[in-house]
Structure 1
Amino acid sequence: MINSTEWLARGGLRPTRQRLALANLLVGDGIDRHVCAESLYAASRQTDERVSLATVYNTLRAFCEAGLIQEVVVDGAKSYFDTRMDDHPHFFWEDTGELVDAAKDQLEIARLPQLPEGAALARVDVVIRLRRV
């Protein structure tokens, strides 16, 4: 398990009361998770440290900018935030809206299209959409 204060320090973030509360919900038990702002907000409502939804959004953005979590966009209107920081693909269940890790050792990307002139590859996101049969 990781201490929330140490986790914030890794990203160079000041351990404010709200950041500590949200960091504890994200990484306090040592389990990698995928959250959206609304689900993290709901979880925070169950604690003594209540924060506004705007604070949750702002804090998640700060955590991303600090390199502590990564954003996974599943469509233009929905983002998840992943505490697992290595490159790995995801499964997205369209019926439940659940995002889960997929095995990275089973994914092969043989070739990418040629990048436009003046561009550098930042990262490749793989979200595999699933429908129950």
Structure 2
Amino acid sequence: MKELQLSRSAIPALLRQHGITPTHQRIEIAYALFSRRQHLSADQILAAVNARHPETSKATVYNTLKLFVRKGLIREVIADPNKVFYDPNTSEHHHLYDVINGTLTDIDASTVRIEGLPALPEGMVTEGIDVIVRVRPRSA
């Protein structure tokens, strides 16, 4: 799986490769995502950015994340209706979501087999398939 872990100085080039103008705030938001190998929520990203630069607004973080998703820099993973993660790993893979502790981890796509997809409407093609396996501890 393609998982980038980048230094702050490498972020502007990464943004430019995706057609994104590197601004100070975009660099900091991208760094929060690419400096670690974690799936983060917008609030976690905001907290990480504001630890260094408290002037960054929630709206800026959300708008920048939408831009990053639209440009293919990151993936948006909706684990449940109230929990959205941003994933810097854009290679083909799936996810395991722990509904109790709220963590999301990667599942290698080669370990999941999907069969029997429905016929697609006329003129449509499959863009991708996202599998989220939701788990919880077994009840005693």
**Taking structure 2 as the reference length, what is the TM-score of the superposition?**
0.86
Q: Secondary structure at the match of 1:128?
A: strand
Shift of 1:78: 2.5
Give the partner amino acid of 1:124: I
Residue 9 (structure 1) aligns with: 16
1:38-69 per-position Cα deviation (integer Å, ceiling 9, x unaligned): 11111112113541111110000000111100
Residue 58 (structure 1) aligns with: 63
Give the partner amino acid of 2:23: T
Give the partner amino acid of 1:91: L
Q: Secondary structure at the match of 1:35?
A: coil
Q: Does the Cα contact within 8 Å between 1:18 and 1:49 map onto a contact in 2?
A: no
Q: Does the Cα contact within 8 Å between 1:35 and 1:80 map onto a contact in 2?
A: yes
Number of aligned pairs?
A: 131
Q: Does the Cα contact within 8 Å between 1:93 and 1:131 map onto a contact in 2?
A: yes
Aligned identity (percent) is 34
- 1:68-87 to structure 2, matched below 5 A, reads 68-87=73-92
Alignment gaps of 5+ in structure 1: none
Cα RMSD for the two superposed structures = 1.5
Residue 41 (structure 2) aligns with: 36
Q: Does the Cα contact within 8 Å between 1:33 and 1:84 map onto a contact in 2?
A: no
Q: Is residue 19 of structure 2 the alignment partner of residue 45 of structure 1? A: no
Q: Which has the higher contact order (CA 8 A, sep 6+)?
A: 2
**Taking structure 1 as the reference length, what is the TM-score of the superposition?**
0.90
Shift of 1:119: 2.1
Alignment gaps of 5+ in structure 2: none
Looking at structure 1, the residues matched to 83 and 39 of structure 2 have their Cα atoms a distance apart, in angstroms, of 12
